């Protein structure tokens, strides 16, 4: 192969490159928040993101262009020492229709693939609205807490979230009985 051909690149970013890049610099995560604004008191937010130094955001722009969704932002704009940008996709339809199918077709090489598979199950369950009923939410929570080193860095403990889920459902049922 001549040196001229080695410099040529196909137009657009290659799918296997994206998969490999995400394997090193990406994350599939599920944020769990207690919230009084949702029926069961627990909000579930699936998120796909990829990080890169702000000097190399062209890679994030290319990945964003490949998927046709999401946004790029400063990772931590309040910390002047954090020079990282992040490409983020949180929209459930985009996760279901673009991100999950892509990584099913172009799987990750590392153990991060296991987290992706759990992430895909959560996205699928949420698309069926399972998170809006107690048993479905409980299954989603258990899957979520088993991801990313079993939730080692989470602020909330799964036992506390599940018990608050139980108590909020009990309270809701008692209120419903009183109103009858």
Give the residue, 176 or 17, on which the prediction is more confident. Answer: 17
Place of tokens 């009990």: 170
Average pLDDT over residues 72-79: 91
> Is residue 99 predicted with pLDDT exceeding 90?
yes
pTM: 0.80
Distance CA 162, CA 85 (A): 34
Average pLDDT over residues 87-107: 97
pLDDT band at 2 (very low <50, low <70, confident <90, very high): very low
State the pLDDT at residue 101.
98
How many domains does the chain contain in total?
A: 1
What CATH number did the domain enclosing 156 receive?
A: 3.10.28.10
Distance CA 7, CA 137 (A): 50
Q: Are 21 and 73 in contact (CB under 8 A)?
A: no
Average pLDDT over residues 75-99: 94
Which spans in the chain are helix H?
Answer: 3-7, 15-25, 57-67, 92-94, 100-105, 112-127, 134-145, 147-151, 158-179
Nearest CA among 117, 56, 115, 112 for reference residue 85: 56
Q: Are 176 and 163 in contact (CB under 8 A)?
A: no
Q: How far is CA 77 from CA 69, 72, 163, in A?
A: 22, 12, 35
Kindly report, residue by residue over 19-42, the tens digit of the pLDDT.
999 999 999 999 888 888 888 888
Average pLDDT over residues 146-171: 63
> Is residue 70 predicted with pLDDT exceeding 60?
yes
**Which domain, by its residues, includes 59?**
3-179
């Amino acid at each position: 192969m001549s040196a001229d051909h080695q410099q040529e690149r196909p137009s657009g970013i290659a799918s296997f490159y994206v998969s490999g890049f995400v394997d090193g610099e990406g994350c599939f995560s599920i944020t769990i928040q207690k919230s009084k604004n949702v029926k069961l008191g627990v909000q579930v937010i699936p998120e796909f993101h990829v990080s890169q130094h702000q000097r190399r955001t062209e890679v994030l722009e290319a990945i964003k262009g490949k998927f046709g969704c999401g946004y790029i932002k400063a990772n931590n704009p309040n910390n002047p020492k954090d020079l990282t940008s992040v490409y983020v996709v949180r929209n459930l339809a985009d996760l279901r229709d673009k991100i999950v199918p892509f990584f099913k077709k172009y799987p990750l090489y590392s153990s991060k693939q296991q987290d992706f598979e759990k992430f895909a199950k959560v996205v699928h369950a949420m698309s069926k609205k399972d998170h809006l009923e107690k048993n479905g939410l409980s299954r989603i929570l258990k899957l979520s807490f088993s991801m990313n080193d079993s939730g080692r860095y989470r602020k909330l403990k799964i036992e506390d979230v599940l018990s608050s889920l139980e108590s909020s459902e009990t309270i809701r049922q008692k209120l419903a009985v009183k109103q009858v």
